[in-house]
Structure 1
């Protein structure tokens, strides 16, 4: 059984919907999943200025906040965030910045990694946000598993090979095609995490051939 951690940030709920779908997909292939949210950094006055933001924050108050230990525990991880000027949200970025100790100790390497994102319009920075997260995975020595074009359902969801992405539905639920694609991404990450984690111990260390 693979262990998967999904770390996301969502202000009004769309990224959260994708996170839940990815969790369902990973669990469907037998993975144990930790769903974790990045800590909210915005002041109450900003949150309260948008009723949907406050509503979502209150509705998800029982979801645990992510810690670096959640990544060490996992065989694979998926990060989700809305785009902020073509970059990950500050909330998710702060969580990443807190993982320096685990990275330095080699606790984040050799794990399968993927990402999903969204923006307010079709060219709002989804791809650059996903690529920015993959830069983090490179530094950690993780094994990036993109969705690519590995299943026709990904075309129906917009065909983003770097990871599942959405265009903000302005408060509406995400289209089913996006949720199906996110479930697929969760399944794909979990399957590869299982294969790699099961074989790590049998790999020959460098210089020991």
Structure 2
């Protein structure tokens, strides 16, 4: 059994990153970690959401998932962030969540948290890697430890695998064009393993 507390923090408009978060949760529980799945606060006007059936359906599907807070960051030993790309960077919803953590950052409460990230876009070169790297830039400022997948398992050479973090393309109907479940689960378990080493070293 792992003694790691894992927060899986996502933003999802069409459901893809919610699914990635669910697979990360599954892997975390398989590894024995205590897992919280959390969404970041939606900032888009309700009228805009109502005009997009996929977005509206995702909001409904995730309505009972708690909104991530600073307390969740303090609680977690490890965090996995999952968000779609918006013009090559993370969406404003995820960025705001990170931006309002100045209080806990200033008091050193983000130091040595183990973090990893995942993303999606509508084509294979739509900015997924840049989005993941934009998340990691913030994590460097936090003093966090980035647990990138690297090429640490054969699964990373297949669907969704890359050295930065799992990324997936979706078609015009919002369906994933690759099965990236194994890549997500490897990434989550690697993140937990690294967090275990960090916790052991701090004891």
TM-score range, shorter chain: over 0.9
Q: How far apart, CA to CA, are the structure 2 residues paired with 1:159 and 1:196? A: 24
Q: How far apart, CA to CA, are the structure 1 residues paired with 2:62 and 2:167? A: 21
Q: Scaled by the length of structure 2, what TM-score is found?
A: 0.95
Equivalent position to 1:144, from 122, 146, 151? 146
Aligned residue pairs total: 201
Q: Please list every run of 5 or more consecutive structure 2 residues that lacks an aligned counterpart in the other structure.
A: none
Q: How far apart, CA to CA, are the structure 1 residues paired with 2:88 and 2:13? A: 16
Q: 4+ residue stretches of structure 1 with deviation over 4 A?
A: none
- Measured at CA, do residues 31 and 175 of structure 1 come closer, stay the same or move farther in structure 2, by a change above 3 Å? farther
Q: Please list every run of 5 or more consecutive structure 1 residues that lacks an aligned counterpart in the other structure.
A: 202-209
Q: How far 1:68 sits from its partner (Å)?
A: 1.0
Equivalent position to 1:153, from 152, 155, 159? 155
Q: Scaled by the length of structure 1, what TM-score is found?
A: 0.92
- Which is greater in Rg? 1
1:12 and 2:44 matched: no
Show the counterpart of 1:45: 47
CA RMSD of aligned residues (A): 1.3
Show the counterpart of 1:27: 29
Equivalent position to 2:116, from 114, 117, 127? 114
Cα deviations across residues 159-200 of structure 1 (Å, max 9, x unaligned)? 321000011233454366311111111111111111211221
SS in 1 for 2:180: helix
Q: How far apart, CA to CA, are the structure 1 residues paired with 2:22 and 2:160? A: 19
1:69 and 2:92 matched: no
